[in-house]
Amino acid sequence: MNASKASLATNDAGRGRIALPAPQIGAGMPVEQALRSRRSIREFDSKPLSLAEVSQLVWAAQGTTSPEGYRTAPSAGALYPLDVYLVTGEVTGLSAGVYFYDPRAHELARVAPDDRRRQLSDAAFAQRWIGKASAVIVLTAVFRRTTRKYGERGHRYVYLEAGHAAQNVYLQATSLGLGTTTVGAFRDERVNAVLELPQEAQPICLLPIGFPG
């Protein structure tokens, strides 16, 4: 199932649609403390994430912050070329699989079944620690959403936006007592296959997330 089909999935957990808890505002550590404490983490223990933690993380990446649909990360022309996918293995109340994040509904739509963390780590040149994370956020981009307005310069804007979103995930993870690392070394075509991405989407980075080991 591609992202467009996923976004139309029925609003029912048994049929592929999972409503997330509302993101909590003001409940975490001050941003200055998160900035000071942020580190890249590559060792995780086996403790599962909660659905509330997943909710905060995907919202930090690309959640909406206004009725107009503005998001947590800045976007050139408010064109929002990024999509967020979640590869899960150890999340309480959420089956292992691949999910597409719908920012407007703040819901996950199931794209594919089964625990694919090992396949994702294989796609990332066998970086086995990726497969030990409780979940992996994958930022993908549809470049034409931006380049149709800004031309070739739009490619630069998309990568800038992905950096903003990744840092949001870092800071949110730190605030929750979690760890992550941005991974850019992977075989695109194999990540595409693991996530069952639509043809126009390209993976930009992986963010494995879990409790520091």
Q: What is the CATH number of the domain that holds 175?
A: 3.40.109.10
Is the pLDDT confidence value at 162 over 50? Answer: yes
How far from chain centre, in Å, is Cα 119? 17
- Number of neighbours of residue 105 by Cβ within 10 angstroms: 14
| Residue 48 is assigned to a structural domain of this protein | yes
Model pLDDT for residues 74-130, shown as the tens digit of each residue: 999 999 999 999 999 999 999 999 999 999 999 999 999 999 999 999 999 999 999
Model pLDDT for residues 22-62, shown as the tens digit of each residue: 999 877 788 998 989 999 999 999 999 999 999 999 999 99
Exposed/middle/buried for residue 205 (C-beta within 10 Å: 0-12, 13-18, 19+): buried
Q: What are the φ and ψ backbone dihedral angles of 100, each rounded to 5 degrees?
A: -105, 135
| Residue 9 is assigned to a structural domain of this protein | no
User: What is the number of residues in the chain?
Assistant: 213
Model pLDDT for residues 171-201, shown as the tens digit of each residue: 999 999 999 999 999 999 999 999 999 999 9
| Residue 201 is assigned to a structural domain of this protein | yes
DSSP β-ladder status, 17-19 and 179-180: unpaired
* Among 65, 92, 70, 93, residue whose Cα is nearest residue 80: 70
What one-character-per-residue DSSP string does 129-170 give?
HHHTSSEEEEEEE-THHHHHHHTTHHHHHHHHHHHHHHHHHH
Exposed/middle/buried for residue 115 (C-beta within 10 Å: 0-12, 13-18, 19+): middle
| Residue 11 is assigned to a structural domain of this protein | no
User: Average per-residue pLDDT in the chain?
Assistant: 92
Helix (H) or strand (E) holding 55: helix 51-62
Number of independent structural domains in the chain:
1
Measured between alpha carbons, how far is 60 from 21 in angstroms, rounded to an integer? 13
| Residue 4 is assigned to a structural domain of this protein | no
Enclosing domain of residue 119:
44-210
| Residue 14 is assigned to a structural domain of this protein | no
Exposed/middle/buried for residue 151 (C-beta within 10 Å: 0-12, 13-18, 19+): exposed
| Residue 180 is assigned to a structural domain of this protein | yes
Q: Which residues contact 10 (CB under 8 A, 6 or more apart)?
A: 16, 17
| Residue 98 is assigned to a structural domain of this protein | yes
Taking the model in full, what pTM does it have? 0.91
Model pLDDT for residues 64-81, shown as the tens digit of each residue: 999 999 999 999 999 999
